[in-house]
Amino acid sequence: MLMFVAPTKSGTNMAKQTQHHGRAWYVIHTYSGYEDNVARNLKQRIESMDMQDLIFDVMVPKENKIKIKGGKRTVFEERIYPGYVLVNMVVTDASWYVVRNTPNVTGFIGLGTTPTPVDPHEIDMLKKRMGVAEPKYKIDLKVGDAIKINEGPFKDFDGKVQDFDEEKGKVKVLVTIFGRETPVELDFLQINKI
């Protein structure tokens, strides 16, 4: 979850302080599924309205994931924050107007009409997350699901999911061997959901 810069001791919002002094990252809300469209339209508007000196970057946070279905591994991009786009900008009346009036933008995240900047540490962490080359696994399993092992020494055994680790692509399965349930660690590719 993105964290926003807290109000200062004097009670004024950080966005008001940085409004004319410097740039920061802000979150805009869009209609879900239109994030890439908004980013593309906003980049075109920045260029056509000559706003490069106030709006510097537009980012749709995404990460690569692996989905395993039917024993096949597929890499796909998934939005980290569906319905949101990040914009690096200096907030002025003109820049606010350009962003706010981009098609499919419903508004800025903030207090009233004043956008609230995102904590720079959060942006750094988000960029690191987006830059991870090794995609994460995504599998439609939950603890207790019945599975069939499709390869390895326990091929054709039935089992029950005890635990799984999406980061490593591993699943711990309880398999009945000689009348006893025995935990076996397998790769996601070695199993099929029944």
Domain 14-137 belongs to what architecture? 2-Layer Sandwich (3.30)
Which CATH code for domain 140-193? 2.30.30.30
- CA distance linking residue 95 with residue 164, whole number of Å: 46
What's the pLDDT score for residue 12? 37
What's the pLDDT score for residue 70? 66
Q: What digits encode the pLDDT tens for the residues 64-76? A: 887 766 667 777 8
Mean pLDDT of the chain: 83
First to last CA, the chain: 34
Q: What is the mean pLDDT of residues 6-10?
A: 38
What's the pLDDT score for residue 6? 41
- CA distance linking residue 42 with residue 116, whole number of Å: 19
What's the pLDDT score for residue 130? 87
Residues 6+ apart with CB under 8 A from 28: 38, 84, 85, 86, 87, 99, 100, 105, 107, 108, 109
Domain ranges (residues) in the chain: 14-137, 140-193
C-alpha pair distances (Å), 153 with each of 36, 66, 172 = 45, 25, 15
Q: What is the mean pLDDT of residues 167-192?
A: 86
What's the pLDDT score for residue 187? 83
Q: Which helix (H) or strand (E) holds 44?
A: helix 35-48
For 59, other C-beta atoms within 10 Å of its C-beta total: 16
Q: What is the mean pLDDT of residues 47-73?
A: 86
66 contacts 134 by C-beta, under 8 angstroms: no
| Domain 140-193 in the same topology as domain 14-137 | no
Q: What Rg do the C-alpha atoms of the chain give, in angstroms?
A: 23
Beta strands at 136-138 and 62-69: parallel, antiparallel or unpaired: parallel
User: Worst-scoring range by mean pLDDT, 30-39, 130-139, 178-187?
Assistant: 130-139
Residue 192: pLDDT over 90: no
Q: What is the mean pLDDT of residues 154-165?
A: 90
Of 28, 50, 35, 24, residue with least CA distance to 118: 24
Burial level of 52, CB count in 10 A (0-12/13-18/19+)? Answer: exposed
